[in-house]
Amino acid sequence: MSGARGPNANVLAWQRAARPILERVARSYDETITYGELGTMVQADTGVETKSLLQNWIGDVLWGVAQTQGRPNEPMLTSLVVDRNGNVGPGYADAVRSRYGFIPADPEAHADAERLACYRFFCADVPVNARPRPSKHSRRRAPNATLPIAKYCASCGIRLPLTGRCDSCSGD
């Protein structure tokens, strides 16, 4: 997740705002939300904005949400968050490992099953014969694709862009 000092106040505020948004998404069978939509909504709901690129902080927000449960046996709400191609992001497998203790061989298939569990947990209108399936408009990448290792700012804890300079606080 974030640097040694943990997430900053902005990330914590966005984490608190993300949970109810994701619960609303889970109440509508077969719905998902994109990273961009979620990022816009948490900033609007909290009034806390950043100039940093979404990819540099949204993972930290989702990590915090994935590590908490609102109720016992609650599935990972973060499985509902997908990119424009309908795929989960590179941090999803790490969040699964941290929460459940294993790395899924196919993070996309795991997210499909976890999404169905979310709909069953939060939504009354899930068909009895529903099966895990990709998010709408999904264009899958190959399983076990090589993903970059994220680096984080030592000052504020936000994920660093490829430049290695923090857009949020100008630190490293």
The Cα–Cα gap between 89 and 75 comes to 17
* pLDDT digits 0-9 by tens, 81-122: 999 999 999 899 999 998 999 999 999 999 999 999 999 999
* pLDDT digits 0-9 by tens, 43-62: 999 999 999 999 999 999 99
User: Does the structure show a pLDDT above 50 at 37?
Assistant: yes
The domain spans of the chain are: 9-122
Phi, psi angle pair for 102, to nearest 5°: -150, 160
CB-CB contact of 1 with 7 (8 Å): yes
Distances (CA, A) of 53 to 35, 47, 135, 158: 12, 17, 24, 10
- Average pLDDT score over residue span 155-169: 72
CB-CB contact of 4 with 60 (8 Å): no
The burial of 83, by beta-carbon neighbours within 10 Å (0-12 exposed, 13-18 middle, 19 or more buried), is given as: middle
What was the pLDDT predicted at 155? Answer: 73
Closest-CA residue to 57 (of 40, 76, 75): 40
CB-CB contact of 70 with 23 (8 Å): yes
User: Does the structure show a pLDDT above 80 at 40?
Assistant: yes
What was the pLDDT predicted at 90? Answer: 87
